Amino acid sequence: MRSSDEHGAGAEQATGRSGDTAGEVAVRVVVTGGVQGVGYRSFACRYAQRLGLRGHVRNLADGGVEVVAAGPRLALDQFLERLREGPPGASVREVRVCSQALSAVDGAGFAVRY
């Protein structure tokens, strides 16, 4: 499994905003391998909700899974570790992470998109 992690230094942080997004960072993650048809989306959604993240997870036409998530950096780091492991039955080949604008993460919760 390879991992490419760019969210550390380049992820957008909310600054000078009021509300619950202060201190948040956002990432877009593409997971490849045997990650469709094995419960990966439910797995990701469950852990994101436990960590209080907001965003979504969805299947991609090429067989990968896309995750867009925002929350505190520590929670995102924990989430990314879980995404690298995947649920039983998944075979994670690569996890590509890039920073995402906080404004691209809509909603207050985390959901599976179809």
Catalytic machinery residues:
41, 59
Q: What are the tokens at 36?
A: 């469709």
Residue 40: alpha-carbon gap to chain centroid: 12
How far apart, in whole angstroms, are the C-alpha atoms of residue 75 and residue 65? Answer: 20
Query: Measuring CA to CA, how many Å separate 99 from each of 22, 35, 78, 89?
Result: 16, 22, 16, 28
Q: Which two tokens stand for residue 90?
A: 């998944």
3-state secondary structure of 68: strand
